[in-house]
Amino acid sequence: MLLLSCTNVSRGYGATPLFDNVEFEIHAGERVGFVGPNGAGKTTLLRILAGLDEPDSGKVQLHAGARLGLLQQVAEFPAGRTLFDEAKSAFDELLATQREFERVAEELAAATDEALHKQLAAKFDRLGELLRHHDAFELDHKVEGVLAGLGFKATDFQRDVNTFSGGQQRRLLLAKLLLSAPDVMLLDEPSNHLDIDTTRWLENYLAQQPEGMLVVSHDRYFLDKVTNKTFELHNRKITSYPGSFKQYVRLRDERYERELKEFEAQKEYIEKQEEYIRRAHYGQLAKQAQSRMKTLDKLDRLEKPTKVSGPNIAFSEVARSGDNVFHVEELTKRFGDKVLFENLSFDLPRGKRLGIMGPNGCGKTTLLKILLGEEEPTSGLVQRGHLVFPGYLDQHLAVLDPEKSVMRAVWPDDDPQQTEQKMRDLLGSFGLQGEIIEHPVKSLSGGERSRAALAKLTVNGANLLVLDEPTNHLDIWACDSLEEALKGYEGTCIVVSHDRYFLNRVADLLIVFASGSTEVVYGNYDTYELLRQAREEAAKGEKAGGTRKAEEAPSGRRSGGAAPASDAKPAKRKRQFPYRKVPDLEADIAATEQKIADLEAALQTSDVYRDATRLRDTMADLEKAKNALALLYQHWEEAVELNG
Write b or e for each residue in 604-631: b if 16 or more Cβ atoms lie within 10 A of its Cβ, otherwise e: eeeebeeeeeeeeebeeebeebbebbbe
Q: What is the pLDDT of residue 429?
A: 78
Q: What is the pLDDT of residue 460?
A: 77
Candidate ranges 117-126, 230-239, 309-318; pick with highest mean pLDDT: 230-239
The upper half-sphere exposure of residue 517, i.e. CA atoms within 13 Å in the direction of its Cβ, equals: 4
| Residues 356-374, mean pLDDT to the nearest whole number | 90
pLDDT, tens digit (0-9, with 9 covering 90-100), for 514-527: 877 899 998 899 99
Q: What is the mean pLDDT of the chain?
A: 85
| pLDDT over 50 (residue 528) | yes
Provide the pairing of β-strand 464-468 with 390-393: parallel
| Alpha carbons 427 and 444: distance in angstroms, whole number | 14
pLDDT, tens digit (0-9, with 9 covering 90-100), for 76-114: 888 889 999 999 988 888 788 878 888 888 888 888 888
If one compares 328 and 601, the residue with the highest pLDDT of the two is 328
| pLDDT over 50 (residue 554) | no
If one compares 349 and 361, the residue with the highest pLDDT of the two is 349
| Alpha carbons 32 and 48: distance in angstroms, whole number | 17
If one compares 445 and 413, the residue with the highest pLDDT of the two is 445
Provide the pairing of β-strand 492-496 with 353-357: parallel
Q: What is the pLDDT of residue 416?
A: 65
Q: What is the pLDDT of residue 126?
A: 84
Q: What is the pLDDT of residue 324?
A: 92
Query: Of the candidates 263, 226, 264, which has an alpha carbon nearest to the alpha carbon of residue 246?
Result: 226
| pLDDT over 50 (residue 66) | yes
CATH code, 324-527: 3.40.50.300
Report the helix count and the strand count for the chain, using DSSP H and E.
Answer: 19, 18
| Residues 554-569, mean pLDDT to the nearest whole number | 39
Coil/strand/helix, residue 317: coil
Rg of the Cα trace of the chain?
A: 31
| Residues 382-401, mean pLDDT to the nearest whole number | 87
Lowest mean pLDDT among 24-38, 225-239, 275-289, 300-314: 275-289
Q: Are 19 and 36 in contact, with CB atoms under 8 Å apart? A: no
pTM (two decimals) = 0.76
Q: Report the percent of the chain where pLDDT is more than 70.
A: 91
| Residues 321-330, mean pLDDT to the nearest whole number | 92
Lowest mean pLDDT among 236-250, 464-478, 539-553: 539-553
| Alpha carbons 564 and 180: distance in angstroms, whole number | 49
Query: What separation in angstroms does the CA of 200 have from each of 75, 313, 500?
Result: 23, 31, 11
pLDDT, tens digit (0-9, with 9 covering 90-100), for 533-549: 888 888 777 777 666 65
| pLDDT over 50 (residue 28) | yes
Domain coordinates of the chain in residue numbers? Answer: 248-298, 324-527, 574-642
| Alpha carbons 318 and 493: distance in angstroms, whole number | 12
pLDDT, tens digit (0-9, with 9 covering 90-100), for 227-237: 999 999 998 99
| pLDDT over 60 (residue 196) | yes
| Residues 454-482, mean pLDDT to the nearest whole number | 87
For 469-569, strand residue ranges (E) read: 492-496, 509-514, 517-521
Q: Report the percent of the chain where pLDDT is more than 90.
A: 42
